[in-house]
Amino acid sequence: MIDPAPKPATEPVVAPAGGAGTVRIEGLTKRFGALLANDEVSFEIPAGRVLGLVGENGAGKTTVMNVLAGLYLPDSGAVSISGMPLRLGSPRASVAAGIGMVHQQLKLVETLSGFENLSLARDRGRLLQPSKAGVELCALMADLGFAIDLAAQVWQMPLAVRQQLEILRTLAIGAGVLILDEPTSVLAPPETVRLFEIVRRIAASGRAVVLISHKLGEVLEVADDLVVMRAGRVMHRGPAGEVDVGRLARLIVGDRDLGQGSRPPGPFGAPVLRVEGLAIESDLGLAAVRGASFAVRVGELVAIVGVAGNGQTELLQAIGGVRPYRGEIAPAAGHARRFAYVPAQHLGVGLAPGMSIQDNALLGQQRRPPFGWWLRRPSVQRRGREVGARFGVTADLASPVRWLSGGNLQRLVLGRELHGEPALIVADYPTRGLDVASAGQIRRALVARASAGAAVLISSEELEESLAIANRILVMHRGEIVAEHDPRTVDQGTLGRQMTTGRC
């Protein structure tokens, strides 16, 4: 959790857009086949305030915001802005009304530059030249504290910079209602502090801001008002100052157990994975990892922590077999074929968007027993049900995987990769973007696999998580492993200092 900060009435980032005003959502209902995603949802998004919209994965938060953004047409209900009805099911009408949404799965065209992506939003695809955008966009970026190379292609940008580009694009088209879906999931702590400063300034300009997040402490630090959703319904509305993190968690999950799991007990056996002198390049051809060496043993859970963009993802991608490297990665004899890899990016890497959920539940394992060269549809359907049930994926298994929420995407990949009890599990940010109950379930599953004799390697941005479940913590800074700790004897302050400075 970041340190609390006051909510000053500062100068606005830009002048209020014409669409700024209080949004009223009344009786929205939305179904996807048999799934009731929103059930008579009603609440207000006040102008000039920050609304925290929270709930479990699949509670309907993103669905109702997608209706507001014009991406979904509801089965019933209405939306008005400043008393004027909004035409639903039309992204163009929502944009014209001043509604802008930054999605958890970023909606940028990765093969285009930052300028070209801005052009798609501002000029309907006509090329936006630096000379045309220079003064206005540079002033907006300066106000936001962003340093984006708009001439670079999106695929070359770190995830945090891509998110900044999405926010820049949304404000540049005059959004008066800014919706942020899990905006801090790819940000380092200092970037999160800066983002919340900007959120407060945007609200101070008269805009309405909606923050969807599973990081409850962060929500309470920046939000003025709260809406809690559960199973498609609004369960609570009220000022953020009236609840604490514990009460908010209970409002979200009810009376279920929130136990997060303890670390594997040991003893630890021989190494299952050895990494020696690993050197890895980023997508820009720069050094992302320098000389990484470590091992993960039978029964051990090792967590790699670091500020986003310091080489953790590239390291795990190389171990997972999806990025070239120099050096040695050596799974122990007999373990190479019992290996699970959970990537940080689900769609396009871990999952095929156009394929069904049940087919994705088998992806990469279709040649292993009990399957083979011939796939029988009943067997595929049975595996889909087993994988979906493991972590509670709630959707029609025959539907395309791209219809799933971010949390369900995460749970589907984890359910597939943990199926069959692999001996080595490599998971890049396995609980990122998950609600408190789902994150606890995933942590318990990883600890259980290590306790049963698997070797588990994860990257994590949550220091509390690493301290709670890891047997060993490795700290990365600028591509190097700069420290190794026993989580029972190290504190968050030491880890945070090493993550940001690289010094012990």
Q: Are residues 352 and 336 in the same domain?
A: yes
Range ranked top by mean pLDDT from 16-30, 113-127, 427-441: 427-441
Q: Looking at 123, 140, 168, which one is the last position of a domain?
A: 168
Percent of the chain with pLDDT over 70: 88
Look at residue 48 and give its three-state secondary structure: coil
Looking at the predicted structure, is the pLDDT value of residue 331 above 50? yes
**pLDDT reported for residue 132:** 55
R_g of the chain computed on alpha carbons:
23
Q: What total of structural domains would you count in the chain? A: 3
Q: Are residues 148 and 211 in the same domain?
A: no
| 281 domain-assigned | yes
Q: Are residues 191 and 308 in the same domain?
A: no
279-300, pLDDT tens digit by residue? 999 888 889 999 999 999 999 9
Q: Are residues 94 and 185 in the same domain?
A: yes
Contact residues for 424 (Cβ-Cβ < 8 A; gap 6+)? 272, 273, 296, 331, 335, 338, 339, 340, 454, 455, 456, 457
Contact present, 225 and 49 (Cβ < 8 Å): yes
Q: Looking at 128, 144, 168, which one is the last position of a domain?
A: 168
Q: Are residues 131 and 163 in the same domain?
A: yes
d(CA 267, CA 271): 12
Q: Are residues 293 and 397 in the same domain?
A: yes
What tokens were used for 399? 């539907």
More confident residue, 365 or 229: 229
Q: Are residues 488 and 388 in the same domain?
A: yes
User: For residue 152, what are the domain limits?
Assistant: 103-168
Q: Are residues 211 and 157 in the same domain?
A: no
More confident residue, 341 or 145: 341
Span of 121-130, 242-251, 402-411 with lowest mean pLDDT: 121-130
Q: Are residues 350 and 422 in the same domain?
A: yes
Q: Looking at 168, 197, 215, which one is the last position of a domain?
A: 168
Q: Are residues 153 and 190 in the same domain?
A: no
